Structure 1
């Protein structure tokens, strides 16, 4: 569920991590960690 939300947001905002983190209300650092944890490509 969380992975899907992050993946969809990354697609929608064309990989703009700053915007994605803001939209999901998490820090950029947390987003980077979750991208790595879930093995998501940019």
Structure 2
């Protein structure tokens, strides 16, 4: 996948959401692998996925 693109005016939350989505896509949404690559716990990743509304974006 392409690396995240940062634009002027993006918030840290916007950037974090984009990085998480990119990593999830790169591991075919294997949350254990994504958490390892991000250097965070699986529970933290689950909370962030929910916080950023990424649950429904897996196939789209």
TM tier, smaller: over 0.9
Calculate the aligned-residue CA RMSD, in Å.
0.7
TM-score of the superposed pair, with normalisation by structure 1: 0.94
Moved over 6 A (4+): none
State the TM-score, normalizing by the size of structure 2: 0.67
Q: Which runs of 5+ in 1 are unaligned?
A: none
Structure with larger RCO (C-alpha < 8 A, sep 6+): 1
Aligned length: 42
Q: Which has the higher helix share?
A: 1
